[in-house]
């Protein structure tokens, strides 16, 4: 029976339901009935459940957000709208680093420490490759066993949407749902390659870069500019004889960061060593995040940054829609490749051909 | 009489004309007559003059490119189209650094060295602030006296167009004209603040960042990411007791760059000290540029990069035109501010409001 109600993306949903039964305050019997019968929930059901912190409902709402069915999308949008006023109350922490740097171990240690302190921790992931790779991060449930079974933690793999933009949107919407459900720390895990960390950075308050001391930078494959997005760099796996190399790497990074002008926030990025495996320096991570939050809330940058992020979504969504409409228009499709050839042959200036395509495009819209 | 034909942006154009008279091979008497009478030149006149390396005609063609009058624009575009097949033959070198770092002195030393080696050097500038500030770079003719009076050098201040995009376009078009006129080294000077160096970087083969040893990085105001655009960093003004500090700074920068993965080109950015004032290390700049050009021409990256730059102009011009049309549409103007307020009040999701605005926009285009 429970199988029916286990959300496969959410290994502990079944557990929650049983918990729900044991503890009627935490979960409304009607939802449970709905859940058991897998009945369609109404917008009210979803919103009420989420605001009550019902994890099963939250998991189902997220599944709704992730669904590409139109009717699910429409329902999801209403749920999100209703949750929006209750969102924003968490610290949004981005954690990036290449595979093998120890993201999962770090997140598990950090997450357990926070739940022990009474925090409610949601762990999400951005991994546009997950569709192809079958979910390279957070996919493996065994990787965060302790945290996964923690009633105050909620772990969710990356939505495997086709496009980066799709993943970004779904993740942002899931953050809203998690915050409305009372999670006060939202950790966004992302693999430190490609565009995923730029997306993560665009939706978090604090961005932590995990590095290794014992790997050349090529191996660590930091994209140019990622180091500059980091509010802190933690050299992980600094245990045993790696400690020394870790300290050396840390001072190198400090020198490098010193060469950059101060960040927009006025915050000077911190560099420190840690060992998630030995649970060393994990407290430093959180101490640093709190320092940052306190400072930026005093200066107002914290809120200003979130506003900037929201307005950027508006303009980016608009620009994306405008581009899509242009490049998918028939008249453009057939002419664009020829235009490119002419440009590469130095036959015509890119500016002129651009203007011609634009004129023909808008002409075609009128007669649509 | 010569006053008439002096292009005020081009202090040495009068000189060239006289030279022209003295040396009939270099300049066709008919042009000269045209020039003297300040008659309108035809497209053929312009193209023939430019291809013959007539600097007065070149200067007038550039003035045409910079003009915002429609009839000049139309004429300029035809000239550019005709010059395009003859362009691309130069090494395009971007030089950036904050005011006071010694850009002009460096460019003059480098330029004189190159003309002495038989190169023809054009020096252009990108400075979007020039309209407001009255032209902060290359504006002051006295700053490059030697180069300005060198028959194998051509110096032109920044086009003072309103928008960055405008400046970028005019500069790109001026590069084409200069190359068609036989200049085999085109130096783009830009002040190392704001967006200007991103533009410069988008139109050059090699990007040189000038730094000072004796200034904190805040003072040097390198924008985040600029150091990463640099193919070489030259610590300038390393003379006398500054030498030591210069070497220290250089090794710091080397360490910092070492932390970044290799560039797209596979080139490892070089760091060295120089003194444009004492004419030390200027040869190193050119040696480094040549190494880069040789390497990237072997790998093919040199050409691939130019193609990428050209295709980027196409997509950026298109995207800009699409955005302008949207944001300038009446229906959007009146609704956008309200939309932003609702987003900042968490009343509605930026994604949803974006979709609504887009739908209304395209609806309005049909009925236009």
- Complex-level ipTM: 0.78
Task: Report CB contact under 8 Å: B351, A258.
Answer: no
Distance of CA B104 to the CA centre of its chain: 14
* Closest chain A CA to residue B319: A323
Distance from CA of A67 to the nearest CA of B (A): 16
* Closest chain A CA to residue B264: A224
Residue range B265-273: mean pLDDT, rounded = 92
Local structure of B155: helix, strand or coil: strand
Residue pair A342/A353 in contact by the 8 Å Cβ criterion: yes
Q: With contacts defined as CB-CB under 8 Å, which chain A residues touch B331?
A: none
Q: What confidence tens digit (pLDDT) does each residue in A4-46 have?
A: 333 444 444 433 433 334 344 445 555 555 555 567 899 999 9
**A:B CB pairs within 8 Å:** 169
Distance from CA of A357 to the nearest CA of B (A): 8
Residue range B349-366: mean pLDDT, rounded = 93
Band of pLDDT at residue B37, cut at 50, 70 and 90: low
Q: With contacts defined as CB-CB under 8 Å, which chain A residues touch B225?
A: 224-225, 228
Nearest to A261 among B172, B217, B350 (CB): B217
The C-alpha atoms of residue A71 and residue A63 are separated, in whole angstroms, by 13
* Closest chain B CA to residue A224: B260
Q: With contacts defined as CB-CB under 8 Å, which chain A residues touch B256?
A: 255-256, 259
Instruction: Give the per-residue pLDDT at B140.
Output: 53
Size of chain B, expressed as the number of residues it contains? 368
Task: Report CB contact under 8 Å: A259, B217.
Answer: yes
Q: What count of Cα atoms within 13 Å lies in the side-chain half-sphere of residue A243?
A: 6
Most A CBs within 10 A among B321, B331, B335, hence the mutation to make, goes to B321
Of B251, B252, B196, B255, the residue nearest B229 (C-alpha): B196
Instruction: Give the per-residue pLDDT at A241.
Output: 84
Q: How deeply is B335 buried, as exposed, middle or buried, from its count of CB atoms within 10 A (0-12, 13-18, 19+)?
A: middle
Instruction: Give the per-residue pLDDT at B214.
Output: 67
Q: With contacts defined as CB-CB under 8 Å, which chain A residues touch B221?
A: 261
Q: With contacts defined as CB-CB under 8 Å, which chain B residues touch A355?
A: 317, 321
CA dihedral sign of residues A47, A48, A52, A53? negative
| DSSP for B252-269, written as a single string | HHHHHHHTSPPPTT----
The C-alpha atoms of residue A204 and residue A190 are separated, in whole angstroms, by 12
Whether pLDDT at B9 is above 70: no
More confident residue, A357 or B228: A357
Backbone phi and psi for residue A154, each to the nearest 5 degrees, phi listed first: -135, 115
Whether pLDDT at A359 is above 90: yes
The C-alpha atoms of residue B104 and residue B106 are separated, in whole angstroms, by 5
The C-alpha atoms of residue A78 and residue A97 are separated, in whole angstroms, by 35
Q: With contacts defined as CB-CB under 8 Å, which chain B residues touch A173?
A: 349, 351
The interaxial angle of helices A350-366 and B350-366, nearest 10 deg, is 80
Residue pair B269/B257 in contact by the 8 Å Cβ criterion: yes
Sort strands A206-212 and A91-97 into parallel, antiparallel or unpaired: parallel
Local structure of B235: helix, strand or coil: strand
Nearest to B224 among A81, A260, A351 (CB): A260
Task: Report CB contact under 8 Å: A322, B317.
Answer: no
Q: In angstroms, how far is the first alpha carbon of chain A from the final one?
A: 53
Instruction: Give the per-residue pLDDT at A40.
Output: 86
Q: With contacts defined as CB-CB under 8 Å, which chain A residues touch B172?
A: 351
Q: Any idea what the Cα angle at residue B259 is, between residues B254 and B260, rounded to 5°?
A: 100
Instruction: Give the per-residue pLDDT at A111.
Output: 96
Report the range of poorest mean pLDDT among A28-37, B68-77, B100-109.
A28-37
Local structure of A206: helix, strand or coil: strand
Most A CBs within 10 A among B346, B353, B361, hence the mutation to make, goes to B346
Backbone phi and psi for residue B291, each to the nearest 5 degrees, phi listed first: -55, -45
Whether pLDDT at B30 is above 60: no
What is each CA distance from B55 to B28, B35, B148, B151, in whole angstroms? 12, 12, 13, 9
Task: Report CB contact under 8 Å: B340, A221.
Answer: no
Token reading at B57:
């005609």
Residue range A309-315: mean pLDDT, rounded = 94
CA dihedral sign of residues A137, A139, A144, A150? positive
The C-alpha atoms of residue B368 and residue B359 are separated, in whole angstroms, by 15
Whether pLDDT at A55 is above 50: yes
Nearest to B228 among A173, A225, A261 (CB): A225
Residue range B218-246: mean pLDDT, rounded = 78
Q: With contacts defined as CB-CB under 8 Å, which chain A residues touch B80?
A: 349
Instruction: Give the per-residue pLDDT at A15.
Output: 39
Instruction: Give the per-residue pLDDT at A10.
Output: 45
Q: What percent of chain A has pLDDT over 70?
A: 79
> Which contiguous run of DSSP H or E holds residue B70?
helix B70-83
Whether pLDDT at B177 is above 80: yes
The C-alpha atoms of residue A219 and residue A73 are separated, in whole angstroms, by 40
Instruction: Kindly report the number of other CB atoms within 10 A of residue B263's CB atom.
Output: 16
Token reading at B333:
């103007």
Q: What percent of chain B has pLDDT over 70?
A: 79
Q: What percent of chain A has pLDDT over 90?
A: 55
Q: With contacts defined as CB-CB under 8 Å, which chain A residues touch B322?
A: 319, 322-323, 326, 358
Residue A236 β-bridge partners? A212
Nearest to B225 among A172, A225, A366 (CB): A225
Q: What confidence tens digit (pLDDT) does each residue in A105-163 have?
A: 999 999 999 999 999 999 998 876 654 444 455 555 557 888 989 999 999 887 765 67
Task: Report CB contact under 8 Å: B173, A349.
Answer: yes
More confident residue, A243 or A208: A208
More confident residue, B261 or A5: B261
Question: What's the whole-number average pLDDT of chain A?
Answer: 83
Nearest to A313 among B88, B259, B350 (CB): B350
> Which contiguous run of DSSP H or E holds residue A191?
strand A185-191
């Amino acid at each position: 029976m429970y199988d029916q109600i286990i959300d496969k993306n959410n290994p502990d949903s079944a557990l929650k339901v049983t918990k729900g039964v044991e503890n009627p305050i935490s979960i409304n019997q009607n939802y449970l009935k709905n859940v058991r019968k897998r009945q369609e929930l109404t917008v009210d059901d979803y919103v009420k459940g989420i605001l009550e912190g019902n994890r099963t409902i939250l998991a189902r709402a997220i599944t709704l957000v992730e669904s590409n069915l139109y009717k699910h999308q429409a329902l999801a949008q209403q749920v999100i709208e209703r949750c929006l006023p209750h969102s924003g109350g968490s610290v949004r922490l981005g954690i990036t680093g290449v595979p093998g740097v120890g993201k999962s171990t770090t997140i598990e240690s950090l997450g357990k420490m926070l739940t022990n302190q009474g925090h409610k921790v949601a762990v999400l992931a951005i991994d546009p490759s997950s569709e192809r790779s079958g979910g390279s991060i957070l996919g493996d449930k065994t990787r965060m066993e302790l945290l996964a079974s923690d009633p105050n933690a909620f772990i969710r793999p990356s939505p495997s949407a086709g496009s980066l933009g799709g993943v970004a949107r779904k993740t942002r919407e899931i953050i809203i749902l998690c915050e409305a459900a009372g999670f006060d720390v939202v950790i966004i895990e992302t693999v430190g390659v490609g565009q995923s960390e730029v997306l993560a950075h665009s939706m978090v308050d604090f961005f932590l870069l995990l590095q290794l001391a014992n790997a050349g930078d090529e191996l660590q494959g930091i994209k140019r500019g990622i180091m500059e997005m980091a509010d802190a760099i933690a050299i992980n796996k600094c245990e045993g004889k790696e400690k020394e190399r870790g300290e050396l790497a840390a001072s190198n990074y400090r020198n490098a960061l010193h060469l950059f002008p101060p960040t927009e926030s006025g915050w000077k990025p911190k560099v420190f060593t840690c060992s998630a495996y030995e649970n060393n320096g994990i407290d430093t991570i959180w101490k640093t995040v709190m320092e940052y939050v306190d400072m930026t809330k005093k200066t107002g940058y914290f809120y200003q940054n979130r506003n900037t992020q929201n307005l950027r979504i508006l303009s980016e969504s608009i620009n994306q829609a405008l581009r899509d409409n242009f490049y998918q228009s028939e008249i453009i499709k057939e002419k664009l490749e020829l235009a490119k050839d002419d440009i590469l042959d130095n036959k015509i200036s890119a500016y002129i051909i651009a203007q011609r395509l634009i004129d023909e495009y808008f002409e075609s819209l009128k007669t649509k």
